[in-house]
Amino acid sequence: MLIGNVQPLEVAARVLKSETLMEVRKAPYNLQGWKILDRWAMNSPEQLKALETAGEVVLLSRLLEQQNIEQTILLESLALSEEGMMEHEIMALREIATEL
């Protein structure tokens, strides 16, 4: 759990190369993708580093896929009046894997 005012990609910056972070700051990645990357860095830093080592394209593809899944679910939840729920609760309710 993060405590305090943590900036997007602050946690990921402790795990990933600066070159990788520069790519993640570009489109099509957005705040949702940055939150995912920080979550992965917090919960599975070794796996995230291994994914980066496998290739930047591998990591960026996996991140984009997860970003698209989570954004779709969050948009659907708004249509179903689930806006009072936390993001992780919505993902759990829909049985969406959020970890590496």
Q: Is the pLDDT of residue 10 over 60?
A: yes
The C-alpha atoms of residue 30 and residue 32 are separated, in whole angstroms, by: 5
Q: Does residue 94 have a pLDDT over 70?
A: yes
Buried b (16+ CB within 10 A) or exposed e, 46-65: eebbebbeeebeebbebbee
Residue 55 in domain: yes
Q: Is residue 100 part of a domain?
A: no
Domain of residue 85 covers: 17-93
5 within some domain: no
| 6 domain residue, yes or no | no
- Cα separation values, 82 from 66, 72, 76, 86, 98, Å: 20, 13, 9, 9, 18
Number of domains in the chain: 1
Residue 52 lies inside a defined structural domain of this protein: yes
Round to the nearest angstrom and report the end-to-end CA distance of the chain.
17
Can you give the pTM of this predicted structure? 0.90
pLDDT digits (tens, 9 = 90+) for 26-65: 999 999 999 999 999 999 999 999 999 999 999 999 999 9
